Structure 1
Amino acid sequence: MRKPDERVQMPRGLTRARFLAGMAGAGMAAGRLPAGSARAAVPRARSGLRHRGVVYTVGAGETPGTAFRTARMRRDMDAIRDRLHADTVEVTGDGVERLTATAAEAAERGLRIWLQPTLGDVPERDILEHLAETGRFAERLRRQGAVVELSVGCEFWLFVPGIVPGADVFERIRNLQQGRVDPVAMQRRLDRFTAKAAAVGRSVFGGRLSYAAAQDDEVDWGLFDIVGIDYYSFFPDRVGYVRELRRYLRWGKPLAVTEFGTCAYVGAPQTAGMGWDVVDHDKKPEEIKGHLVRSEHAQAAYLLQLLDAFSSLGLYAAMAFEFVTPDAPHRPGDPLHDLDLASYSITKTLQDRPFDPASGWHWEPKEAFHALARHYAREQRHGTADAGALPPG
């Protein structure tokens, strides 16, 4: 489960990506895409998604049973390459050792690496040093021949202290909700830190640089080589997705969808990024709110609908969120405690001993995993992925 840092106690079932996507979906993102400034010509779309990926989060785990394990991670990298047929893995989370160990294993398997450190809610200098250490390792991998792209982080406006007032994530959210934020000052602080992070990235890494923004964030994409967007919209057909995604091509740069996905229950795709918000964390053990109907098919169909749109635009890359969420276990026959319903994972976590925090566990593919694998294998056979060249722009 993704956390900005172990010191930030996010509720179980609420990942950083879901939290941020939800806030953006609620209209509380830092800004809007600039509407009036000059843009480069939109590059001609090519057929097919150029790089097919999945997000792999390397957090420390919330319980002894879900702590990071190198052996497990290695097996997961094998599965991503051989069973999912992905050519790219987005290695994200915090902890330089976990990030670099995972990136190294991905490189050994010939996977493209989108390396994105996401330490948050600590002093700026710690976030930037965490980025610098990760970036230095990425540069070493790149010089050894691996295909590596570095993202300097995601949605800084919420997780970097000082951009939005508040002592922690929750206080900052309350300030946003209650209008106790100066949007002009917030954008100015966001721009300053984004530029600083980009400068740090450039200073240690010689490859292509990016950043993962929420859909409505205002970003100076001139700082980066690739536009990165965490994308959680819902439309009834492909036309809506294509129309919305085209606006991110206006910079004349490759577009990577750094996250996309939904949960496995009826109606989850329509929540536009709020699908995680179905857990009552005050209950012990935690319970699913309402009477949700589990539907792995709904999750799979949504992912395929998005991939259809991405392919029609010839996007540079797309990374499904996410490979596994160990801290949101699936409990068959117990819908009240099936925390996997709040997970965006394409696999389901099954505990050996349900409700035991020290329990071992394994994952099994969801329908979404199989759907992605078929789609990725088909694009692999058709040769839509390239050797790493970027389109002109």
Structure 2
Amino acid sequence: MENTKKGISRARFLAGAGAAAVGVAGALLPATGARAAEATTGRRGLRHRGVVYTVGAGETPGTAFSAARMRRDIRVIRDDLHADTVDVTGDGVERLNATATEAAERGLHVWLQPTLGDAPERDILDHIAQTGRHAEGLRRQGASVDFSVGCEFWLFVPGIVPGETILERIENLQNGTVDWVRMQRRLDRFTAKAAAVGRSVFHGRLSYAAAQDDKVDWNLFDVVGIDYYSSHADSADYVRELKRYLRWGKPLAITEFGTCTYVGAPEAGGMGWDIVDYDKTPPEIKGDLVRSERTQADYLVELLDVFESMGLYTAMAFEFVTADAPHRPDSPRHDIDLASYSITKAIKDRPDDPRSDWHWEPKEAFHALARRYRRC
């Protein structure tokens, strides 16, 4: 999806923004017993392991969507990252469907999730319908496909939270200038509409990606989907936190998990991206942060251990590449990749030219995931 805040992709407003909305839902579900995970999945170990691949128009001509680049990336996800699943997300029906087709043809399990934002409700529902029809076509041809009707609707869909743009809605949530009861009613209404559209065009497993504290009627879906950005010193706390989502007796998908590339990023959770001063030209990293690819890699592996131990349905690391957050090894103060959740680092051939071509290189997180995925 196109970036939503001056160079930071949906990376973003996630758990941090979701925390601002905690007054809506409070605790989503009570914790359940240790046998809940086994009863829900019937197995130990993740069923699917993958990565989020975001498509969008790009912020600059140099980072615009490229079908050729996408095809190369999908091959890398399968052959080098050793993932068996790719979460194709973002906006643009043609981009989404082309990427889903490529992933399916490469033998990957496809989690297709349109996330059109800041558009009229009818356009968002039509966007869901068009991508859902394509997902159904792939499924009927024998591909392994799950379809998610979207992500964190309170953030992306106008009219649920006051504000014309995502940034305005975030500000209103943080300021508390929201009628929580009315917001929940609107969220429930749109979620039900989206689920109905998804059911009408797609006949496989249906899901939705919610923020951790969202209140969702999971009876509408076959798979519970959670964007998960917690940080705990004790892995048992992750297990206790995640067990509450198993109460519905349905498979649990971790639709996003990850962290940024600096010391202390896991503790910042879904707000880890908020370290860039965009009032500066060029934008600068705020404070004296220490780049640490090891911090990111260790966090991802720790979370995978938890998900595997619980036998969850799927876990998809966020994300494969963030083209609009380039790495500047020559200028740490301008190394915007620190604010990226990407497991690769985007490097521009000409750092100061928005039309510059670019390439990515793997971070330690890429290699750590590749080792784990290959063993599985």
Q: Cα gap change, 1:17/1:209 in structure 2, threshold over 3 Å: closer, same or farther?
A: farther
Are residue 364 (structure 1) and residue 358 (structure 2) matched?
no
Q: Cα gap change, 1:358/1:121 in structure 2, threshold over 3 Å: closer, same or farther?
A: same
Distance 2:106 2:7 in 1: 32
2:31–2:241 Cα contact (<8 Å) kept: no
Q: 1:332-365: per-residue Cα shift (whole Å, max 9, x none)?
A: 1310100100000000111111111011111110
Match of 1:20 among 9, 14, 24: 14
Shift in Å, 1:34 = 4.4
1:352 aligned partner: 349
Q: Cα gap change, 1:85/1:37 in structure 2, threshold over 3 Å: closer, same or farther?
A: closer
1:11 aligned partner: 6
2:28–2:213 Cα contact (<8 Å) kept: no
1:23–1:29 Cα contact (<8 Å) kept: no
Q: Cα gap change, 1:333/1:36 in structure 2, threshold over 3 Å: closer, same or farther?
A: closer
2:345–2:362 Cα contact (<8 Å) kept: yes
Distance 1:137 1:74 in 2: 18
Structure having the larger proportion of residues in helix: 2
RMSD: 1.8
Shift in Å, 1:316 = 0.4
Distance 2:267 2:20 in 1: 13
2:273 aligned partner: 276
Q: Which secondary structure state, in structure 2, belongs to the residue aligned with residue 175 of structure 1?
A: helix
1:108-127 maps to which residues of 2 (within 5 A)? 108-127=105-124
Q: 1:291-317: per-residue Cα shift (whole Å, max 9, x none)?
A: 111110000000001000000001100
Q: TM-score, normalised by structure 2?
A: 0.95
Structure 1 gaps, min length 5: 380-393
Q: Which secondary structure state, in structure 2, belongs to the residue aligned with residue 284 of structure 1?
A: coil
2:11–2:340 Cα contact (<8 Å) kept: no
| Structure 1 residue identity aligned to 2:25 | G
Distance 1:122 1:198 in 2: 18
1:54–1:319 Cα contact (<8 Å) kept: yes
1:95-174 maps to which residues of 2 (within 5 A)? 95-174=92-171
Are residue 187 (structure 1) and residue 184 (structure 2) matched?
yes
1:159–1:169 Cα contact (<8 Å) kept: yes
Q: Cα gap change, 1:109/1:183 in structure 2, threshold over 3 Å: closer, same or farther?
A: same
Distance 1:299 1:289 in 2: 19
Are residue 75 (structure 1) and residue 69 (structure 2) matched?
no
Shift in Å, 1:37 = 12
Match of 2:231 among 230, 234, 250: 234
Distance 1:297 1:29 in 2: 35
1:234–1:269 Cα contact (<8 Å) kept: yes
Q: 1:126-145: per-residue Cα shift (whole Å, max 9, x none)?
A: 00000000001111111111
| Structure 2 residue identity aligned to 1:12 | G
Answer with 179-188 or 207-216: which moved more: 179-188
Shift in Å, 1:326 = 0.6
2:90–2:115 Cα contact (<8 Å) kept: yes
Distance 1:223 1:29 in 2: 23
Answer with 174-183 or 328-337: which moved more: 174-183
Q: Which secondary structure state, in structure 1, belongs to the residue aligned with residue 271 of structure 2?
A: coil
1:28–1:177 Cα contact (<8 Å) kept: no
Distance 1:76 1:103 in 2: 12
Shift in Å, 1:90 = 0.1
1:42–1:251 Cα contact (<8 Å) kept: no
Shift in Å, 1:264 = 1.0
| Structure 2 residue identity aligned to 1:24 | G
1:211-290 maps to which residues of 2 (within 5 A)? 211-290=208-287
1:30–1:157 Cα contact (<8 Å) kept: no
| Structure 2 residue identity aligned to 1:172 | R
Distance 2:148 2:360 in 1: 28
- Corresponding residue pairs, total: 372
2:115–2:156 Cα contact (<8 Å) kept: no
2:49–2:316 Cα contact (<8 Å) kept: yes
